[in-house]
Structure 1
Amino acid sequence: MRALRLGLCLLFPLSVSAASCALPTVQTDGWELSTPEASGFNSTTLCMTLTAIARGKDNIHSIIIERHGKLVAEMYRSGKDKSIARGLGVWPPFAPTIDFGPDTLHDARSIGKSVIDLLVGIEKQQGKIASLATPVLDYYPEHKDLRSPALDAINLEHLLTMSGGWKWDEGAQPNNEMRLFWKSDPVRYVLGRPIEAAPGAVWNYNGGGTLILADIVSRVAGKPWLDVANTELFAPLGITQWQWVTDLRGRPASFAGLRLRPRDMAKLGRLMLNHGRWNGRQVVAEDWIDASLTPRLSVGFKSPGDQPDEIHYGYQWWAGTAAWKDHRVAWNAAFGNGGQRIFIVPELDMTLVVTAGDYGSDEMGAKVNRLLHTVVATVAR
């Protein structure tokens, strides 16, 4: 039987040792550890929440909670997983069951988009990107035949906020995102899409814009964006185990292919909460972090709950609010298909990471979004 890791609260009744429920494990990855009580949680309520998930039927694979820079809770489960690495988004007939643990890489999917945003910020702080108002086509003289007044108006900020105005659909297959895996020139494919809205006016989810942002990072850095990610972001954070899945042409899928350990996803959350600093080093400029997390455009739907909040989008990061005590607190998040999340709640100085395996499921997305509200409510002080 595959092991289910949830600390001692799965071995004894909750009334015996709620304090030991889902305690994080000691590793050499740079994380300090704490307990729910010391970190200001109601340990009994938090343990009940985690235990219900661990014993439930939802295909959630891991939950990591950190607060004030220390890991507070860590839970892993066995579950079926259809990794993008197994078929570039075309699912195999049977999903294998994986025994997830602290060192198991998990699909992060579109969380990679939020990472690409950080790479853009790194290049901008180095002076290699002068202005977000720069027209995208300025970086692509080889595609000058595509020029039009509408396309000339699309700039880098529009790519970051997914408001370029292109006709783009990432719904049922085959969709525009899936075509990015197969096109011989995916940049030209994105640039050549019909434009149906004024740039900056309407939010429309578009992984093609992220692909262009990653390509621009490569062009201004003078090396592959994957090398920038490794040397200038992951290495400073002590992230050594990671993968970026490639297509059949060997190109890393910037918009969907990232795979990370959940504990390392939490490092990205802590980096954002620390305004771009990690262990005293300014990895990403503070003003870029602030700009990325600033809500800019409504995405047109709300998160579930008794008091649903309208969700907005910043620079490849999502934003909303959750109820806490007598008011609402702001949250930001990196979202990934299937239930992948890095939630940060700046007012509570807290990160919640969730990984799951129901790719393409709106229901799973709603469940993990509700989980944020549940965990926020367990914070006592």
Structure 2
Amino acid sequence: MNLSSLQHTLEKSIPQLDLRSCLIRVRGEMLYKHYRNIQAETEIAKINSCTKSLISALICIAMDRGLLPEASTPISAFFPQLTSDSDPRKPAITLEQLLTMTAGFNWDEFGGQNSFPRMTRTDHWVAFAIEQRLRHEPGTHMEYNSGVSQILSSILMQHAGMSVAAFAERYLFGHLGIHDYEWEQDPQGVHTGGFGMKLLPADLLKFGQLFLQQGMWEGKRLISSELVQRSTQAFITVPPPNHGSYGWHWWVDQYEPANANENIAGSLVLENTSAEQQTPLHYYYARGFGGQYVYVVPELELVTVLTNDKRKKEKPPLDVFPRLIVPELWRLARCSGNSSGD
């Protein structure tokens, strides 16, 4: 696949967007690197909800090491008090349903009485999250919820025998060479599961590369390939305005060209293209408020990191990857599918 046209497109378009950073690595080599300034390259910054995907990775590591039970384990195994809850469905919520945000809690992420801002103003975040009533049958509906991410962080801390940050340093950060970070904690000392971490863009790129490499890093297995695949596969379709599906605290999506026709089965098909060229491009990603992203495209052996720090009034550019980068990737992959060139 010839990537020079993609480089040319990026060099013309990315600097104009005033992103904090844009890093693209293909087949282990840096294809494109942009930082707004030296501070963006050398100073840690908030990754917001990309923290969720890191927590997911740590949960997978704990499962691999036998520190956490299988994903079908009910939440009552970690919080026995739930066996006396008035709703008999609540103690049966599984670890996987927490990971996929299908626990069913009545939750409005950014507002109202049952939201993550309200949670952070309480004396016990995990208790607040668990005490919410159920609005949906567990396992049937995805409701974005930083409270369940805090529950997961608490579960990890319970079973790791150390703080979540210490666990991360021992089993993930240390191997990846991630030394410069900050991580908030709740009043009980549980590191935030859904937000609250600061990292360098280059370290986010390492994290994405680890998943692209199916959990391998410099010849050492950090996460089993089975759990890498399971955590990043589509588990449930997400409700609007979001798009695609959700896995274990990872978003999952695919790209199909807009200039396509719809066949009788309802799938998108390009005119005058082979079956291989019609195949959508699948990817998964971590996403944080304000423009923080880690995209992994296994088919192209590609990892992309985008970060931003725009204020609300400045309206940061949306969908840079799916609208600007991935169409070019799809075209290159499909048009050069039969080419032997690099």
The bucket for the TM-score relative to the shorter chain is: 0.7 to 0.9
What is aligned with 1:48? Answer: 9
Whether 1:342 and 2:312 are equivalent positions in the alignment is no
TM-score by length of 1: 0.76
Is 1:230 paired with 2:188? no
Change (3 A) 1:188 1:101: closer
How far does residue 191 in structure 1 lie from its aligned partner after superposition?
1.0
SS in 2 for 1:100: helix
1:328 to 280, 288, 292: 280
The CA distance in 2 between the partners of 1:378 and 1:353, in whole Å, is: 20
The aligned amino acid for 1:366 is D
Q: Please give the per-residue CA displacement for 1:61-119, whole angstroms capped at 9, x wherever unaligned.
A: 100000112222110115xxxxxxxxxxxxxxxxxxxx533222121111110010011
Higher relative contact order (CA 8 A, sep 6+): 2
Contact kept? 1:151, 1:195, Cα under 8 Å: yes
CA, structure 1 residues 359+235, in 2 after alignment: closer, same or farther (shift >3 Å)? farther
TM-score, with length taken from structure 2: 0.84
Q: Which has the higher helix share?
A: 2
Distance 1:360 1:141 in 2: 42
Q: Distance in 1 between matches of 2:137 and 2:188?
A: 34
Question: Offset at 1:221?
Answer: 0.9
The SS at the match of 2:307 is strand
- 1:311 pairs, out of 219, 233, 244, with 244
Q: Which residue of 2 aligns with 1:61?
A: 20
- Judging changes above 3 Å, is the alpha-carbon distance between structure 1 residues 217 and 372 closer, same or farther for their aligned structure 2 residues? farther
SS at match of 2:141: coil
Which consecutive aligned stretches of 4+ in structure 1 deviate over 6 angstroms post-superposition?
359-363
Q: Is residue 352–residue 372 contact of structure 1 (8 Å, CA) maintained in 2? A: no
Matches within 5 A, 1:107-146: 107-142=46-81, 145-146=84-85
- Identify which of 140, 149, 154 aligns with 1:215: 154
| Runs of 5+ consecutive residues of structure 1 not aligned to the other structure | 1-39, 79-98, 304-309
Secondary structure class of the residue paired with 1:292: helix
Specify which of 76, 79, 103 is matched with residue 35 of structure 2. Answer: 76
Identify the match of residue 198 of structure 1 among 134, 137, 147. 137
Shift of 1:132: 1.3
The answer to whether the 8 A contact 2:256-2:281 is kept is yes
> Superposition RMSD on alpha carbons, in Å?
2.5
Following the alignment from structure 1 to structure 2, what is the Cα–Cα distance between the partners of residues 206 and 215? 15
Summarize the alignment of residues 1-381 of structure 1 with structure 2, pairs less than 5 Å apart.
Answer: 40-54=1-15, 56=16, 58-78=17-37, 100-142=39-81, 145-146=84-85, 148-172=87-111, 176-246=115-185, 252-301=191-240, 310-323=243-256, 326-358=278-310, 364-377=317-330, 379=332, 381=336
Partners of 1:206 and 1:247 in 2: how far apart?
16
Q: Which moved more, 1:182-191 or 1:41-50?
A: 41-50
Unaligned runs of 5+ in 2: 258-276, 337-342
Q: Across the two proteins, how many residue pairs are aligned to each other?
A: 314
- Determine the C-alpha separation between the residues in 2 that align with 1:372 and 1:366: 9
Q: Which amino acid in structure 1 is aligned with residue 53 of structure 2?
A: S
Q: Deviations over 1:30-67 (max 9, x none)?
A: xxxxxxxxxx443244233233221x2x4411000001
CA contact (8 A) 1:61 1:355 kept: yes
Judged with a 3 Å threshold, the aligned counterparts in structure 2 of structure 1 residues 372 and 217 are, in CA distance, closer, same or farther, namely farther
Change (3 A) 1:197 1:108: same
What amino acid sits opposite 1:189 in the alignment? F
